[in-house]
Amino acid sequence: MSSTISSSKSSITSKPISRRGFNKSLLAMALMVAGCDRSPLASSGQSGSLAADQDQLSADQIKALTQLPTIPAGDFAVTDFGAKGDGVTDCTASIAAAIEACANQGGGRVVVAGGTFKTGPIHLRSNIELHVDSDAELSFVTDPKAYLPMVFTRWEGMELLNYSPLIYAMDATNVAVTGGGVLNGNADNDTWWPWKGPHKEQHWNTVAGEAQQPARNKLFEQAEQGVAVDQRRFGEGSYLRPPMVQFYQCRQVLVEDITIKDSPFWLVHPVLSEDVTVRGVTFISHGPNSDGCDPESCNRVVIENCKFDTGDDCIAIKSGRNNDGRRINVPSRNILVQDCLMLAGHGGVVIGSEISGGINNLHVRRCEMSSPDLERAIRIKTNAARGGLIENLNYSDINIGTVKDVIVVNYYYEEGPDGDWMPQVRNVRISNINVKNAQRVFVLRGFPDNQLSGLSLHSVNVANADSLGVVENVQSINLHNVMVNNQSLDLKALLGS
């Protein structure tokens, strides 16, 4: 084995969501101007904070306490409102009418069955389940103008007004997307994905002048300068792609049994939400930023029995970017990932990079990860511009076939040491991990003045590794029964500690 080592480290009452530092009147005005009539705080009537919720929860407690939505009885077939599953008729208005009728009756199921239904954005409301039957597909139009007027959203961890997500819910309670059918975003090399612009992994058809980078830079600058959200107006001409499914400040959310494919951007993105369950979902999208499931600043999340085959991270847990993440200051916490299959992707289960609000209490167990195109299994990516406290992460009983890097903790992601907000990573426990083939076991990179510590490895076996990898500025790692290429690994000795 060649090695490169450099060193110098049951139900509960829902708690409200706090949006500290946020101007409610400005947001309400911004949404009114943008044509969105629902403020994310308008119907909450609550105060408090995610951070003041339960004490540390075990994996089983998270599973037991995460509340599923309660949907009233009654079906509203979209075909009864004029929708046609011929793949040609625009069903946007018919689906909206079915949702409106369902809401007026106090809620129920809006049912899509029997064909391919072409549609623009779908906005869900409280007590409504969008059920896409196994013989149905929602095929989303790719004309960006269809996703106007703008709505309040988060894009790469920063608040703004932008194109509507393809399926969107704001400040809703008891909301679901279910069924054995397909959500098809129709993004490909000619639609949506080219807005990424030139990139080292480019495989889409870029168009001169139609790329996200200028608007992305502008949004970063506005967030860092504290520009009011009502002035962060993007949408048409900005080329910031919308996510596929986004629940913003929602409670008791379920996404179940559907297949999601070819998303413009992230596939399932719950934000500032609690009691979120994502189960039995198949994620297939190989475009730029095709993250599978990205819970952001959420509390009590269960992701289980899902299959991920993506062009970016399979699961990425987030809590806001840089100044905006610190302004809102809501961590992701009490998250359970179990019994999932990760195929292609930049990472299997990833923390960050938008993690400025921190993360507390993650459990990942009984997962399978394997693909020549899976770059990393366990990954933490952050930097000195993000900061954030990352603590109490538990990974256990994971089988990994083929992967490039097994365990990555990188303080040098993007901005690296350029910032005043040092990352903090502590109490990371990795146990009962079996790996068949890896290029590198570790990429562990702390800062010289903020060395990495707090990692504990128990019963980790890497059968075949090309190299041990890179370990720099690591203060300590606890090792118990760690084997690499049939040899016991004593990393403390290697680091001279």
* Cα gap 126→21, rounded to integer Å: 26
Contacts of 109 (CB under 8 A, 6+ apart): 71, 74, 75, 76, 102, 128, 129, 130, 131
CB atoms within 10 A of CB 108: 20
**CB of 8 closer than 8 Å to CB of 451:** yes
Structure token digits, residue 451: 């060395």
Active-site hit among 262, 346, 363, 405: 346
Give yes or no: 480 in active site. no
CB atoms within 10 A of CB 379: 25
* Cα gap 453→438, rounded to integer Å: 23
* Cα gap 340→183, rounded to integer Å: 20
Active-site hit among 53, 230, 275, 312: 312
What stretch of H or E contains 62? helix 59-65
**CB of 264 closer than 8 Å to CB of 192:** yes
Give yes or no: 55 in active site. no
* Cα gap 350→315, rounded to integer Å: 6
Nearest to 234 by CA among 249, 221, 247, 216: 216
Degrees to nearest 5, angle at CA 75 with 71 and 80 = 145
Q: Which residues face 285 on adjacent strands?
A: 310
**CB of 284 closer than 8 Å to CB of 259:** yes
Q: Which residues are catalytic?
A: 312, 346
